[in-house]
Amino acid sequence: MSGARREAAGERRLFFALWPTPELRASTLAATAGSLAEAGARAVPAENLHVTLAFLGATPAERLDAVLACGRGLAAARGTVTFDRLVAWGRAGPLVLEPTAPAPALAALHGALRNRLVAAGFQLESRDFQPHITLAWKLSRRPAAASIPPLVWPFDGFVLVDSEAGPTGSRYTVLARFPG
């Protein structure tokens, strides 16, 4: 459903995410620029780089207060995650960065947020949480390098984002910030 039709239907496409600083986005893109060029892919705009914690998808506008309540006051919202592995998911992408080591604080944040959302009646994806940063879509070839110098993403909070699909890709708007 297009953004205009979704708004007319009273829905928002929502997700919770780690939202990096502009400097962290720039260092992530600098560290992966060669691999992105090698992959011949459509790069994700720098301002869209993030780590999804929970994807709600199309959410009725009247449920926004309940979504916000789920994010408030989570104690496990501080830590780091280190991304050090490039992975192409599937034949044509996306190209993502993943951590090779677990990030306990991130897993705790995800679990606590997921529990609150499920308790509030939201339907979430059933697949296991796999922290990643999507770098590009529609790969024409897989990059040779599978590892990169470690990129440490510290976090001391997270955000609620509204995603609006458009003809040139998605536009993200941060609706709320939740400090750790």
Catalytic residues: 50, 132
Would you call 60 helix, strand, or coil by DSSP? strand
Torsion of CA 142, 146, 149, 151, to 10 degrees: 80
Contact yes or no for 111/75 (Cβ under 8 A): no
Closest to 18 (Cα-Cα) out of 164, 129, 155, 150? 155
